Every structure is written in C-alpha cells, then in structure tokens.
Amino acid sequence: MKSKTPSAEELIESLKESKSLERLLIDNADEALFFYSLEGVLIYVNPAFEKITGYTTQELYEKIFIPYVHPDDQEWTKKLWDGLFDGAFFEDVEYRIVKKSGEIRWCMSSWKIVCDRDGNKIGIQGKQQDITKRKLIEEELVLAKTIAEEMSKKDELTGLNNRREFFDQGKRIFKQAIRFDHSLSVMIMDIDHFKNINDKYGHAMGDKALKLIAQVLQRMMREIDIVARIGGEEFAFLLPETTLDKATNLAERLRLEIQNATLVEEEEPFQLTVSFGICSCPVNNETLETMLSKADKALYVAKNNGRNQIKTC
C-alpha cells in the first residue's frame, strides 16, 4: 500500500519538533552565521560563511578571527572585539576580509556576547554579509560625484577654471590678502584680434588657439595661482604674494611665450599675440571685483595702444 505524502503543515510541524527547521534555516541563510569561543577560536560556521571566505568548514574550525581580516583593518577590528567584553557594541561594522583565493571582499558584521542561563559569558555570536557589490556601487557614485563637481569648476574647452570657480576661490584668497596685508596682483589677458582668427580660419582654429594658450598657462603658472577663462577670449589671473613688478614680469614671459607659439592652418603658420591689464596691492574696502575692473581698464588701454603689450593701473 502506497504511503501518504505528508502535507506542508505536517512537514513543518515535524521539523519544529525535531529542531530540523532551525538547522534548515541556518544552513540556507544568505548571511554567514558563526560562533566563537571567548578566546576568539571559531567553533561553528554555517555554509554561507564558507562561501564568503572561500575556506571549507574543516579549514575554518578552531581558527581565530583576526587572520581572515584584511591586514589594514585588523588593528581596529581587534579593538572592537576586545570592547565586546566591556559591554561595547559591534553592530553593522564594515571591514575587508581576504578570501582563501587572495580576493579582497567587503563585509558587514554584527557581534554580541552570549551568556548562559546564569549570566556567565560563554562565547561570541555573530553574523556577516558580503557587501562588496554595494561598496563598489558606493565608490562609483562617489567617484562620479567628484568628477561632476570638478567638471562644474572647469571651462569645458580649455580645462582651466571657469568664471564661477575663479570668483569662488578668488574671493577667499583676496580676503586673506587684505586681512594679513599680503601682496596680491590681478591680471586680465585678452587674445588680440581673436574675431579675425575665427572669421579667417573658422571656429575650430579659434578653439585650437584657446587650447594652446591654456597649455602655456598651465605650464608656466604656479600652483597657488588662480587662472581662469572668464569669457570668449578673456583670461583672468589671481596671483597671491605677488607685487606689481613680479606680476608684470610674469605677464611679459607669458606674452613672449604665446607670441613664439605657432599655429598652422592649411600649411599657413600664424602667431598669436595677447594683451594684459594688471592691478596690484589691494587696499581696505577694495574688492576682487574692483581690482578686476581696474585691470580691465588697463587692458583697454593696452588694446587701444596697439595690442601685444602690458599696461598697469
């Protein structure tokens, strides 16, 4: 006679009575479950722990916790472990482990002291999840955000600071110069006859000219200087700890360097020239905007006097 197949309810009741249900749930859990002695020796792990670490049950048993943790994370996780005995929490802590294969994985763990019925500490119970995918996504998002923030500060064509970034950084540096009575210079540079370049050779050549000038500026300027493209063919400079004489000398070196750079269009070489207006030594109640306005007036004089020259205010 064929035996009767037990119903789902009957099977569950049977599992409950035999404790097999708990074993089934533990063995099929996605997160690692484990139990350590008070000395840190591993006494029990479920199959998920083997999957996360790459070690078999036999390799894991009676091994201490710390060696599986990434060397850079061992010191502080050991302090957390020790803190458990003083009543501290070890909950949702993220650290790296090194799998048997050598692969590094991110894990999130929670730990707690287990006591018997009399309140005596008998071991440490824990759970652990592999969160590597989540950490990679987080890192990608952080990187994307950083790139986006950096791109928002740059002029797309030249890679120099844009107008907004120039004023954001410039106002901070300007205030410091005023406060500590430090020398500071502001310059504005304009490409001479830039419209003629676009009209004669096309906007692609105009873009090429702007990129060439940006390369010269990036090569010759100091790290502390703030350089930006603030208009079509207009560039602004903020030079901390720079007197008028030093700013004028820098402008002359830049003028000559740009003048000696050659662009070629259909085998026809041509030179670029630039003009400068410079303002130095801020005084009380002056602003970055007013200094730029003075430098711009000096630039206007340079352009009206024939271009390819430097004027100071």
Active-site residue (options: 233, 234, 241, 267): 233
Cβ-in-10-Å burial (0-12, 13-18, 19+) of 127 comes to middle
Beta strands in 99-198 (DSSP E): 104-115, 121-130, 184-191
Half-sphere CA count of 310, side-chain side, radius 13 A = 18
Q: What's the confidence (pLDDT) of residue 223?
A: 93
The domain limits of the chain are 31-137, 152-312
Q: In terms of CATH, what superfamily is 31-137? A: PAS domain (3.30.450.20)
Q: What's the confidence (pLDDT) of residue 43?
A: 81
pTM of full prediction above 0.75: no
pLDDT tens digits, the chain, 313 residues: what are they?
A: 445 555 555 544 554 455 565 566 566 677 888 888 888 788 888 888 888 888 887 787 777 666 789 999 999 888 888 888 887 778 899 999 999 899 999 999 998 888 888 888 888 888 999 999 999 999 998 888 878 877 788 999 999 999 999 999 999 999 888 888 889 999 999 999 999 989 888 899 999 999 999 999 999 999 999 999 999 999 999 999 999 999 999 999 999 999 998 787 666 777 899 999 999 987 667 899 999 999 999 999 999 999 999 999 8
Residues 81, 65: Cα–Cα separation, whole Å: 10
Active site residue 233: yes
CA distances from 218 to 152, 212, 268, 280 (A): 19, 10, 26, 22
Q: What's the confidence (pLDDT) of residue 66?
A: 65
CATH 3.30.70.270 fits 152-312, yes or no: yes
